[in-house]
Amino acid sequence: MGMDETVVNGAMAFFKVQFGIDSPDLVTTTKLGAICAAPYICCALLSCWLAQPLNRFLGRRGTIVTVSIRE
* Beta carbons of 42 and 70 less than 8 angstroms apart: no
Domain boundaries in the chain?
Answer: 2-68
Question: Could you tell me the pTM of the whole model?
Answer: 0.52
Q: Which band of pLDDT confidence, cut at 50, 70 and 90, is reported for residue 63? A: confident
**Distances from the Cα of 2 to the Cα of 12, 13, 29, angstroms:** 15, 18, 23
Band (2; pLDDT cuts 50, 70, 90): low
Whether residue 59 is predicted with pLDDT greater than 80 in this model: the reply is: yes
Q: Which SS3 state, helix, strand or coil, does residue 53 take?
A: helix
pLDDT, tens only, 21-56:
777 888 888 888 888 787 788 878 887 888 889 899
